[in-house]
Copies of this chain bind each other. A is one copy, B any other.
Amino acid sequence: MGALSRERIVATAVALLDADGEAGLNFRALGARLRTGPGAIYWHVANKSDLLVAATDAVLADALAADTTGHPPREAIRTLALGVFDAVDAHPWIGTQLARLASQATTLRVFERIGQQVRALGVPDAAQFDAASALLNYILGVAGQNAANARSQPPGTSRAEVIGTVAARWADLDPAEYPFARAVAEQLRAHDDRAQFLAGVDLILAGIATLRPPS
C-alpha cells in the first residue's frame, strides 16, 4: 500500500486537525491512520512543530494561489485577505498557528503579497512598511479571533446559534459598565463575519488612501 512520505503524513495531519482540532493531532493517532508507528513518522518529519508548520503551509498555499495580476491593487488586497480568511474559516486550527508565527515562511509570503499591492497603491516609500504591517496584523488578528470562536463551541453547533448566545449575553451585561457591548448586541446578532472582516480591511485601506501624496 502507499509508501510513507512527507506529503502523505502532512495530508493525514490536516485531516486529523480538521476533524478534531489541535488536540486531535498526535503521533499515535497519526500512526494508526497511516498503519505505522510513531518512529516511522519521525523519519520524514523533524517534530510536531515542523509538522504543524507544514500543515499550515499546505492549507495556505491554496489561499495564496489566487492570481491577482491585472486587478487593481485594492481588489488584489481584498482578494488576498479573503483567501486567508476563508482558509482559516475552513481550518480553524490555522488561526493559532499563524499567531505563533512558527510558519515564518508562510507569514512572509502573505506579507510580501500585501506589500506589493501597497506599493502599487502609490503609498509613499516611507509609509509602505507600516501600511503593509497594519494589514498583515489585522488579518492575523481576525484569524486568531475567528479560530478561537470556532474552537469555543462543539463542532456541531451552527454559527447562528453561537452568535445568538453571545448576543444574548451581551444584551444582559451591566448597562453602567458595558454600554457599548449592550448597544451593539443586535448588530452582533445580524452581522456576517466575512463581511465584517472585509469592512475592517476597507477601513485600513481608507486610512492608507489618506497617506497618498496629492499628485
Interface assignment of A178: CB less than 8 Å from any CB of chain B: yes
Interface assignment of A8: CB less than 8 Å from any CB of chain B: no
Residues of B near A187 (CB, < 8 A) are 126, 128-129
Among A115, A127, A138, A178, chain B packs the most CB atoms within 10 A around the CB of A138
Interface assignment of A106: CB less than 8 Å from any CB of chain B: no
**Bound state CA distance, A144 and B151, in angstroms?**
17
Interface assignment of A4: CB less than 8 Å from any CB of chain B: no
* Residue contact A128 to B184, C-beta cutoff 8 Å: yes
Interface size of A as a range:
35 or more
With contacts A101-B149, A206-B206, A210-B210 taken as known, whether A179 is within 8 angstroms of B141 at the C-beta atoms is: no
Shortest Cβ gap from A84 to chain B (Å): 12
Chain A, residues 121-155, CB within 8 Å of chain B (1/0): the string is 00000111111111011111111110111011000
**Bound state CA distance, A205 and B200, in angstroms?**
11
Can you list 11 A-B contacts with CB-CB less than 8 angstroms, sorted by A residue number?
Answer: A98-B144, A100-B151, A108-B181, A129-B196, A136-B145, A140-B141, A140-B144, A141-B141, A203-B207, A206-B206, A207-B208
Shortest Cβ gap from A128 to chain B (Å): 6
Interface assignment of A27: CB less than 8 Å from any CB of chain B: no
Residue in chain B with minimal CB distance to A139: B141
* Residue contact B199 to A134, C-beta cutoff 8 Å: yes
**Bound state CA distance, A137 and B139, in angstroms?**
8
**Bound state CA distance, A134 and B100, in angstroms?**
20
Residue in chain B with minimal CB distance to A108: B181
* Residue contact A133 to B196, C-beta cutoff 8 Å: yes
With contacts A111-B181, A115-B180 taken as known, whether A145 is within 8 angstroms of B134 at the C-beta atoms is: no
Residues of B near A210 (CB, < 8 A) are 206-207, 210
Among candidates B118, B130, B140, B148, residue contacting A145 with C-beta atoms closer than 8 Å: B140
Among candidates B142, B208, B211, residue contacting A137 with C-beta atoms closer than 8 Å: B142
Among A102, A141, A151, A208, chain B packs the most CB atoms within 10 A around the CB of A141
Chain A, residues 11-42, CB within 8 Å of chain B (1/0): the string is 00000000000000000000000000000000
